Amino acid sequence: MKIALERLQKVLAGSGIGSRRYCEDLIRAGRVRVDGKVATLGMKVDPAKNLICVDGRKFTVSQGHVCLIVNKPKGYVSTVKDPQGRPKVTDLIHIPGVRLFPVGRLDYQTSGLILLTNDGELAYLLTHPKYGIWKTYHALVKGIPCPKALNRLREGVPLPEGKTAPARVKLLKELPGSQALLEISLREGKKRQVRKMCRYVGHPVVELKRVKLAFLTLKGLRTGEYRFLTQEEIKRLKDLARRKKNEHAPKIENCKLFEQKN
């Protein structure tokens, strides 16, 4: 029986090396070899037959994909390596034979919901902006934002990396000491975005916690705890991302004409 070959970056990402984009960067940098030769982006392989090495180490295909939801504490970085030697969110979990990586990032001082997985496809679907997955944060800020400030957050604010997309913003409560608790939901993930948005409207963040991603919440998880996602939850996440992409895709009225042009 003929084995269907798969693109090298997909094989690497699907077995826990990292996101597909990260695996593409590894290949471009010449850090991946197939049967002793430097790999090229887009080449197809059979991981059961081809000898694949990453940074000189033999690559083995994971026997299955897993995904965990973690209630990340403050003081942990959401990377697999840290030059400063700080605690990593991956230090909280050890599964023999399985290499996990974070899906997206929460900065060092931000706590809350983050996913760890060895499923590169899932990570890509949940982090690429074109899939528009909602992420919800609770932000304790200085001062009490006025309606105008809240509307500016909702409509988008100019940052050095570009104007932020429209967001969902609620004032949950006003607190003693001239502080307020905001709920902010985003469909994008610029670096330290919530903190930058709040600072821009004059209400710097004091504490920040991610409380929801798509339909997932931290219910039942104390700080530092985790649980495995069910296969049904994983399927639902992937279906949701693909549906979101299709909602934003241009409609093709004349399929025959499209086929002729392609």
pLDDT at 243: 85
Do β-strands 57-58 and 226-228 pair in parallel, antiparallel, or remain unpaired? unpaired
pLDDT of 255 over the 50 cut:
no
pLDDT of 257 over the 70 cut:
no
Do the beta carbons of residue 44 and residue 55 sit within 8 Å? Answer: no
May I ask the CATH class of domain 6-58? Answer: alpha beta
Q: Which residues partner with 175 through β-bridges?
A: 179
Output the 3-class SS for 111-136.
EEEEEEECCHHHHHHHHCHHHCCCEE
In the block, tokens 């699907």 appear at: 14
Task: Judge if pTM exceeds 0.75.
Answer: no
Return the ∠ at Cα 201 (arms to 196 and 203), rounded to 5°: 80
Of 190, 183, 187, 239, which Cα lies nearest the Cα of 211? 183
Determine the Cα–Cα distance for residues 37 and 52; give it in Å rounded to an integer. 9
pLDDT at 213: 97
Written as six digits, the tokens of 33 are 């070899």
Indicate the domain borders of the chain: 6-58, 67-129+217-247, 134-213
How does pLDDT run across 114-143, given as a tens digit for each residue? 999 988 889 999 998 889 999 999 999 999
Return the ∠ at Cα 100 (arms to 99 and 101), rounded to 5°: 130
How does pLDDT run across 14-57, given as a tens digit for each residue? 666 667 788 898 999 999 999 999 999 989 987 768 888 888 87
Fold of 134-213: Alpha-Beta Plaits (3.30.70)
Section 71-81 average pLDDT:
94
pLDDT of 251 over the 70 cut:
no
User: Mean pLDDT for the chain?
Assistant: 86
Written as six digits, the tokens of 207 are 């504490």
Which CATH number does the domain 67-129+217-247 belong to among 3.30.70.580, 3.40.630.30, 3.30.379.10, 3.20.20.70?
Answer: 3.30.70.580
pLDDT at 14: 64
Alpha helices in the chain (DSSP H): 8-14, 20-28, 120-127, 147-155, 193-200, 231-248, 255-261
Q: Answer with the residue of higher pLDDT: 23 or 151.
A: 151
Residues marked as catalytic: 107
| Chain centre to alpha carbon of residue 47 | 26
pLDDT at 64: 67
pLDDT of 205 over the 90 cut:
yes
Fold identical between 67-129+217-247 and 134-213?
A: yes
Specify the 3-state DSSP secondary structure of 157. Answer: coil
Using only C-alpha atoms, the chain has a radius of gyration, in whole angstroms, of: 21
Q: Give Cβ neighbours of residue 239 (< 8 Å, ≥ 6 apart).
A: none
